[in-house]
Structure 1
Amino acid sequence: HDLHRICVTHFHGDHSLGLAGVIQRINLDRVPHEITAHYPASGQHFFERLRYATAYRESVELTEAPVSADGVLARTPAYTLDAHRLSHPVESYGYRLTEPDGRRMDPRRLAAHGIAGPDIGRLQHEGVLNGVTLDEVSEVRRGQRFAFVMDTRLCDGVHALAEGCDMLVIESTFLDEDERLASDHGHLTAGQAARVARDAGVRQLVLTHFSQRYPDPGEFERQARAAGFEGELTVASDLVRVALPRRSR
């Protein structure tokens, strides 16, 4: 539920249109906690205009947090949010949420050391119990990673955000035959997005932001598979819900 405290958005083209509605919905629902909005610093005047585009009762505290450089934007016990600059005709950033690593207790090793019941909790809290360390009876459970990459051509930021992600939501505006057009307009093709995901070890790929020039959405999936991506693949559509993949271990 802590992820609801973040609002990440763009300020150009079709991405700006929903911001006013999102903010008004937050206030209508009387969200009980502070909301932080992250957006490119160059979009400050767009944010201000859209935030107050219509009349509404402002009942929720909303903190503005413009982004002007790569790095960590927020760190909480539940997640770390970081941003990377992308390559687009106007300033654009991609974002990644990383869950902290945890521990997975090994029942066999616990039993071998005679640790059971409340003693397991004590060991987890204190790190050592009767000479037995936490490392001896557990293993690291890697935190899950989610990245959102929109409005960009290929660049270092795309690869950095995608690295090791359990789920990558990434633009796929053009098909591969229009790669030159994609680059000229600051966008990716289906094959480019899929190769990024393949090389980064992404487990689940969600393609979105398609040009309306293509009548068959299935072609994006076909080109992504042809590019060598073998993980879970979703070609996004309006109102679709895609669950994060289950933990790999």
Structure 2
Amino acid sequence: MSTRDLVILGTASAVPTRVRNHNGYLLRWDGHGILFDPGEGTQRQMLHAGVSANDITCLCLTHFHGDHCLGVPGVVQRIARDGVAHPVRAVFPASGSEYWRRLRHAAVFADTDVIDEEPIAGAEVRIGLPGAPFTLTARRLSHPVESYGYRLEEPDGLTMLPDRLAAHGVAGPLVGTLQREGSVVAPNGRTVTLEECSVPRPGQKAAFVMDSRLCDAVAPLAAGADLLVIESTFLGADARLAEEYGHLTAAQAGGVAAEAGVRRLVLTHFSERYPAADQRRFAEEAATVFGGDIVVARDLDRVPVPPRRRVVPASTAGAGPA
């Protein structure tokens, strides 16, 4: 059974609180684990969440503010100590390469050679992840330091329809031939096409937008996402501060989700200025513009990617063999 969920390791912004650790988000996707923005304390939060260094196949940093990267030394050293054998791709803004080197080698330890570094630059970058069942794209956001958002996208596919296959007499090895070649000759001599026995299966999508004011890159990152993880550092009353410091309000995050057709919205990266009692206000403000599913992130929560959209096949009338 494949797992597609978000393990939330921290939800604070610049300053952690008693109930919020610095950032950290592990997106688990069919055996792959993308760790976004490990802030201070991420290694310990992973223990509390029941995930390990072996779950990480990719480490993505949006930018080099401390709440998004000070956990890198602990995570890298844990990868080494636990003997992780598979490659771990490390993606980060090339403009911060010197900070990466300092974090990567922050202390003396028995190093590992599985970390595969990929510094990125430019407005849009396709991340190389050989063998992954999805593409990963980064887009540059708008923040006082260079920052990137990330989009994971599974290719579209097809769902085979057993009743249609049976009606056409296509079974056993013929099904595989039909999938590979797009058509097959059925036992009755009729040529059956793939379109007659399947419906489109939209690929699932997830997006991660952290530390940015509204900008042109946000919409294409979020477009049609089944799961959007997005910062909502401020409430609407502090919109001026959000703009000044390069952040979003909860209502702005909700607006992004509404315009992008998002299915599940995860709000996170909350300023320490708001007490725990204000948590519901983030959801309430987002809900004024977004009518979909809203999750106000809490440390150590697990948020599933919504089930795949079902495409309803056209009427089966006349679908049998001619």
Q: TM-score, normalised by structure 2?
A: 0.74
Greater CA drift, 107-116 or 201-210: 107-116
Change (3 A) 1:202 1:26: same
2-side partners of 1:65 and 1:155: how far apart?
Answer: 25
Change (3 A) 1:129 1:144: same
- 1:181 and 2:234 matched: no
Residue number among 219, 227, 240 corresponding to 2:281 in the alignment: 219
Residue number among 5, 20, 32 corresponding to 1:2 in the alignment: 32
Q: CA deviation at 1:170?
A: 0.3
Q: CA deviation at 1:161?
A: 0.3
Residue of structure 1 in register with 2:41 after alignment: none
* SS class of match (1:184): helix
1-side partners of 2:176 and 2:232: how far apart?
Answer: 46
* SS class of match (1:156): coil
1-side partners of 2:182 and 2:85: how far apart?
Answer: 35
Higher relative contact order (CA closer than 8 Å, sequence separation 6+): 2
- 1:145 and 2:197 matched: no
* SS class of match (1:242): strand
> Given residue 90 of structure 2, which amino acid in structure 1 is its aligned partner?
A
Residue of structure 1 in register with 2:82 after alignment: 29
Greater CA drift, 123-132 or 70-79: 70-79
CA contact (8 A) 1:169 1:205 kept: yes
- Map Cα deviations across residues 136-190 of structure 1 (whole Å, 9 max, x no partner): 2112211110111001000011111000100000000000111111000000000
Residue of structure 1 in register with 2:148 after alignment: 93
Residue number among 222, 235, 242 corresponding to 2:303 in the alignment: 242
2-side partners of 1:26 and 1:218: how far apart?
Answer: 37
Residue number among 65, 77, 83 corresponding to 1:12 in the alignment: 65
Q: TM-score, normalised by structure 1?
A: 0.95
CA contact (8 A) 1:34 1:61 kept: yes
Change (3 A) 1:144 1:238: same
Q: Which runs of 4 or more aligned residues in structure 1 lie more than 4 Å from their structure 2 counterparts after TM superposition?
A: none
Aligned runs of 1:17-166 on 2, under 5 Å?
Answer: 17-69=70-122, 70-74=124-128, 76-130=131-185, 131-166=191-226
CA contact (8 A) 1:176 1:223 kept: yes
2-side partners of 1:217 and 1:57: how far apart?
Answer: 42
The structure where helix makes up a greater share of residues is 1
2-side partners of 1:22 and 1:212: how far apart?
Answer: 25
Unmatched segments (≥5 aa) in structure 2: 1-30, 34-55, 186-190, 311-322
CA contact (8 A) 1:74 1:82 kept: no
Change (3 A) 1:102 1:21: same
Change (3 A) 1:239 1:77: closer
> Given residue 224 of structure 1, which amino acid in structure 2 is its aligned partner?
A
> Given residue 99 of structure 2, which amino acid in structure 1 is its aligned partner?
F
Residue of structure 2 in register with 1:207 after alignment: 267
2-side partners of 1:182 and 1:59: how far apart?
Answer: 40
* SS class of match (1:115): coil
Q: CA deviation at 1:108?
A: 2.5
Residue of structure 1 in register with 2:14 after alignment: none
Unmatched segments (≥5 aa) in structure 1: none
2-side partners of 1:90 and 1:231: how far apart?
Answer: 32
Q: CA deviation at 1:77?
A: 5.0
